[in-house]
Structure 1
Amino acid sequence: MIFNRLFCNRGILIQNFRQHGWIGILYLITLLFSLPLYIATEYRDVPQQIISLFQANGEVQILFAITLPVAAGIFLFRYIQSGAPSDLFHSLPLRRKHLLTVNLLTGFVMILIPIWITTAITGWVWAVLDQPAFLFDGSTIWMWGLSMSIYSLFMFMLTVAVGMCIGQSVLQGLTVYALVLLPVVVWFIMSLHLQHYLLGYVFEEVGFNAEKLSLVLRVGSISNLPVIRQELIIYAIFAILFIPLTYVLYAKRQVESATQAVTFKLIKPIFRFGLMFTLVLIGGGYFTMIAPRGSAGWGIFGYILGGIVGYIVAEMIIRKTWLIWSSRLLPKLILYGIIAGLILYVPIADWNGYAARVPEMSKVNSIKLGGESYTYSNGVSQKKDDAHLYSNDPEYMGAVIALHQKIVDSDLPLLDDPINTGMRNDESILINYKLDNGKVMKRKYYIPEAEFHQELKALKQSQDYKRVAFETYKLDEDALSFGIRSAISSYRKVYISNPEQVREFKALLKQDIFDQTYEEQRSPWQSFAYAEMNQDSTSKDPFQPREMWNFEIKPSYDRVLAWLKENKLYDQLLVQADEIVSAQFAKQEINSPGSLQWTTPQPEYIDGNLSGNKQIATKNKEIIRDLLKRQRSGYLTEKDTVYQIKLNVIRGENIYMMLKEEDLTEEMKAILVNQ
Structure 2
Amino acid sequence: MPSKTLSFNRAIFTQNVRSVGWVGLVHLLVLCFALPLQILMVYTSERRPYYETYWKNVFSVSHEFQVLIMFTIPVLLAIFIFRYLHVKLSADYIHSLPFRRETLFFNHLLFSILVLLLPIVITAIILLFLQSALELDFFLSAYGIACWIGTTFLIELLVFFASVFIGMVTGMSVLQGVLFYIMLVFPAGITVLVAMNIQYFLYGFSAEYYLNHNIERIVPLFRSFELAHRPLTWTEIAAYLVLIVVFFALSLWIYKKRDIETAGQAISFRSLRPIFKYGVAFCFMLVGGLHFGETQSDFAWIVFGYVTASALGYFIAEMILEKTWRVFRKWKGYLYFVISMLVIGILLKIDIIGYEKRLPSLAEIERVYFSEDIYYFDEDIHIDDSEYVSPKPFFATKENMKNIYLLHQQIIKDKELVKQTTLNSRSVVFGYELKDGSKIVRSYVIPFEKYKSFYKPIVESKEYKQIHYPLLKKQDVSGLDKITIQPNNEWAETTFITDKKQMAEFVAVLKSELEHETAEQIFDGRNPWGHIELVWDGNERMAVTWNKSYTRLDEWLKLKGFEKARTTADDIDYAIVIPNKEGKPFHEFIDEELKNHKDAIKITDKQQLEECLWQAGTNDEIPTYVIGFYDADNPTAQIETFDEHYVPEFIRKHFE
- Post-superposition offset of 1:53: 5.1
Give the 3-state SS of the residue equivalent to 1:480 in structure 2. strand
CA distance in 1 between counterparts of 2:133 and 2:599 reads: 68
Offset of 1:79 from its aligned partner? 0.7
User: What aligned pairs does 1:156-555 form with structure 2 within 5 A after superposition?
Assistant: 156-205=160-209, 206=211, 209-217=214-222, 229-291=234-296, 295-324=298-327, 329-347=330-348, 349-370=350-371, 371-373=374-376, 374-375=382-383, 389-415=393-419, 424-472=423-471, 475=474, 479-489=480-490, 491-535=492-536, 546-555=539-548
What letter matches 1:435 in structure 2? Answer: L
Residue 606 of structure 1 corresponds to 590
Give the alignment of 1:73-92 within 5 angstroms.
Answer: 73-92=78-97
Classify 1:89/1:499 alpha carbon distance in 2 versus 1 (closer, same or farther; 3 Å): farther
Q: How far does residue 81 in structure 1 lie from its aligned partner after superposition?
A: 0.7
Q: 1:335 Cα shift?
A: 2.8
Quickly say closer, same or farther: Cα 1:641–1:528, change in 2 above 3 A.
closer
Secondary structure of 2:432's partner?
Answer: strand
Question: Any idea what SS the aligned residue of 1:431 has?
Answer: strand
* Residue aligning to 2:379: none
CA distance in 2, matches of 1:440, 1:138: 46
Q: 1:108, 1:153 within 8 Å by CA — same for their partners in 2?
A: yes
Partner of 2:9: 9
- Equivalent residue of 2:326, what SS? coil
The 1:274–1:136 alpha-carbon spacing in structure 2 relative to 1, beyond 3 Å, is same
TM-score normalised by the chain length of structure 2: 0.86
User: Quick one: structure 1 residues 290 and 390, their matched pair in 2 at CA, closer, same or farther if it must change by over 3 Å?
Assistant: closer
Distance in 2 (alpha carbons) for counterparts of 1:613 and 1:224: 59
Write out per-residue CA displacement over residues 91-122 of structure 1, whole angstroms, 9 at most, x where no aligned residue: 22211111111111222222233334444544
Q: Which residue of 2 aligns with 1:543?
A: none
Asked if the contact 1:486–1:493 (Cα under 8 Å) also holds between the matched residues in 2, the reply is yes
Q: Matches of 1:207 and 1:607 in 2, distance apart? A: 44
Deviations 1:439-495 (A, max 9, x none): 232211111123222212122222222233344467458643221123334752222
Deviation at 1:403, TM superposition (A): 0.8
Q: 1:432 deviation in Å?
A: 1.9
Contact 1:51 1:378 (C-alpha < 8 Å) held by counterparts:
no
Question: Closer, same or farther in 2 for the Cα pair 1:222/1:426, shift >3 Å?
Answer: farther
Distance 1:300 1:584, change over 3 A: same
**Relative contact order: is structure 1 or structure 2 higher (C-alpha 8 Å, sep ≥ 6)?**
1
Task: Identify the residue that residue 604 of structure 2 maps to in structure 1.
Answer: 620
Distance 1:377 1:4 in 2: 60
Specify the SS of the correspondent of 1:407. Answer: helix
How far does residue 78 in structure 1 lie from its aligned partner after superposition? 0.2
Compared with structure 1, are the counterparts of its residues 479 and 212 closer, same or farther at alpha carbon in structure 2 (3 Å cutoff)?
Answer: farther
User: Does the 8 Å contact 1:59/1:222 carry over to 2?
Assistant: no
**One-letter amino acid matched to 2:590:** I
1:146/1:367 CA distance change after superposition, 3 Å: farther
Distance 2:400 2:107 in 1: 67
What per-residue deviation string (whole Å, max 9, x for no partner) do you get for residues 380-420 of structure 1?
xxx9896x643311111111111111111213344378xxx
Aligned residue in 1 for 2:571 = 579
Please state if 1:31 is matched with 2:31: yes
Q: Equivalent residue of 1:196, what SS?
A: coil
- C-alpha displacement at 1:663, in angstroms? 5.1
Q: Which amino acid aligns with 2:9?
A: N
Task: Give the Cα–Cα distance (whole angstroms) in 2 for the partners of residues 37 and 644 of structure 1.
Answer: 61
Structure-1 residue corresponding to 2:113: 108
492 and 663 in structure 1: CA distance in 2 versus 1, 3 angstrom threshold: same
Secondary structure in 1 matching 2:533: strand
Aligned residue pairs, count: 640
Deviates more, 1:67-76 or 1:652-661: 652-661
Amino acid at match of 1:262: I
Amino acid at match of 1:285: L
Please give the alpha-carbon distance, in whole angstroms, between the structure 2 residues aligned to 1:608 and 1:114. 68
> Per the alignment, do residues 456 and 660 of structure 1 end up closer, same or farther by CA in structure 2, a change over 3 Å counting?
closer
Shift of 1:2: 8.9
Determine the C-alpha separation between the residues in 1 that align with 2:627 and 2:110. Answer: 71
Instruction: Provide the rounded CA distance (Å) in 1 between the counterparts of 2:208 and 2:217.
Output: 15
SS at match of 2:193: helix
- RMSD of the TM alignment (CA)? 3.8
Deviation at 1:69, TM superposition (A): 1.1
The 8 Å contact of residues 6 and 94 in structure 1, kept in 2 or not, is answered as no
TM-score scaled by length of structure 1? 0.83
Partners of 1:536 and 1:139 in 2: CA distance: 38
Shift of 1:583: 3.8
| CA separation of 1:446 and 1:254: change in aligned 2, threshold 3 A | same
- Distance in 1 of aligned mates of 2:139 and 2:596: 57
Greater Cα offset, 238-247 or 219-228 = 219-228
Distance 1:57 1:614 in 2: 62
Q: CA deviation at 1:289?
A: 2.6
Q: Provide the secondary structure at the position in 1 that maps to 2:641.
A: strand
Query: Relative to 1, partners in 2 of residues 1:634 and 1:23: Cα closer, same or farther, differing over 3 Å?
Result: same
Q: Distance in 2 between matches of 1:645 and 1:671?
A: 17
Separation in structure 2 between the aligned mates of residue 672 and residue 584 of structure 1, nearest angstrom: 13
How far apart, in 1, do the equivalents of 2:344 and 2:126 lie? Answer: 51
Distance in 1, matches of 2:386 and 2:98, equals 57
1:633 equivalent among 618, 622, 625: 618
Contact 1:475–1:507 under 8 Å retained in 2: no
1:649 & 1:146 partners in 2: Cα distance?
A: 69
The structural deviation recorded for 1:356 is 0.8
1:625 and 1:632 map into 2 onto residues whose CA distance is 13
Unaligned 5+ runs, structure 1: 538-545
| Partner Cα separation in structure 2 for residue 120 and residue 589 of structure 1 | 75
Percent sequence identity is 26
Q: Which AA in structure 1 matches 2:565? A: L
Quick check: 1:485–1:529 contact (8 Å CA) kept in 2?
A: yes
Q: Does 1:561 align with 2:558?
A: no
CA distances 1:646-674 after superposition (whole Å, capped 9, x unpaired): 4335379964433347755577689999x
Residue by residue over 1:229-273, the C-alpha shift from the partner in whole angstroms, topping out at 9 and shown as x without a partner, is 544443332122111111111111111111111111221121122
Counterpart contact for 1:27–1:68, Cα < 8 Å: yes
The gaps in structure 2 that reach 5 residues or longer are: 377-381
Give the direction of change, closer, same or farther, for the CA distance of 1:441–1:662 in structure 2 (3 Å limit): closer
Aligned to 1:542: none
| CA distance in 1: counterparts of 2:129 and 2:355, whole angstroms | 57
Question: Aligned partners of 2:59, 2:192: CA distance in 1, in Å?
Answer: 26
Shift in alpha-carbon separation, 1:166–1:509, aligned structure 2, 3 A = same
User: CA 1:166–1:377 in structure 2 vs 1: closer, same or farther (change >3 Å)?
Assistant: same
The alpha-carbon deviation at position 276 of structure 1 amounts to 1.5
Q: Matches of 1:474 and 1:19 in 2, distance apart?
A: 71
Select 1:650's aligned residue among 591, 613, 633: 633
Distance 1:558-1:581 versus aligned 2 partners, 3 A rule: closer
CA distance in 2, matches of 1:392, 1:200: 22
Superposed displacement of residue 162, structure 1: 0.8
The change in CA–CA distance for 1:494 and 1:611 in structure 2 (over 3 A counts) is closer
How far apart, in 2, do the equivalents of 1:614 and 1:129 lie? 76
Q: Matched residues in 1 for 2:70 and 2:38: separation?
A: 17
